[in-house]
Amino acid sequence: MIKTLFEKIAAREIPAQIVFEDDLVLAFRDINPAAPAHVLIVPKQPIPRIGEATADDQKLLGHLLLKAAEVAKQLDLKNGYRLVINNGADGGETVPHLHVHILGGRHLAWPPG
Ligand code: 5GP
């Protein structure tokens, strides 16, 4: 199977600033940050996008969200932060390996563009 970009980062084939890792998930700094703090957290076992997750992924998805909150705490985003999942072309998804954006360090406007 061809590895996704984020699998290559997990395998250390592509360098990234990794901020958290356990058996199931990996968190690393986004290469093109949209905020002072911009980290992506991904399941190591790829799911293309949230719209293709199944009931079998329930535990992993819960773990991913809980670890996203832990990473936000580790990043010291006391004033708040935003978790974002882009799904498909209209959602702005560019990498077909499910990832949660952790964004913070500035006030984030709503609604998004
Ligand atoms: P999406 O647009 O799919 O929601 O988010 C993909 C994110 O991956 C983008 O924010 C983009 O900057 C980031 N990204 C793309 N290629 C790389 C890379 O090689 N390394 C890192 N660290 N981030 C990447």
Convert the pLDDT of each residue in 29-58 to its tens digit: 999 999 999 999 999 999 999 999 999 999
Give the 3-state secondary structure of residue 86: coil
| pLDDT score, position 1 | 84
The mean pLDDT of 80-90, rounded to a whole number, is 98
Residue with tokens 């890792």, as numbered in its chain? 21
81-84, strands of its sheet edge to edge: 18-21, 25-29, 37-43, 100-104, 81-84
Which residue is catalytic, options 38, 97, 99, 101?
99
Distance 78 CA to ligand 1 centre (A): 24
- pTM (2 decimals)? 0.98
Q: Which of 1.10.287.1080, 3.30.428.10, 3.30.70.360, 3.40.50.2000 is the CATH number of 5-104?
A: 3.30.428.10
Angle at 70 between CA 66 and CA 73, to 5 degrees: 145
Listed by start position, the domains of the chain span 5-104
For residue 59, how far is the Cα from the chain centroid? 16
53 contact partners, CB below 8 Å, separation of at least 6 = 47, 61, 98
| Atom 20 of ligand 1, nearest CA residue | 31
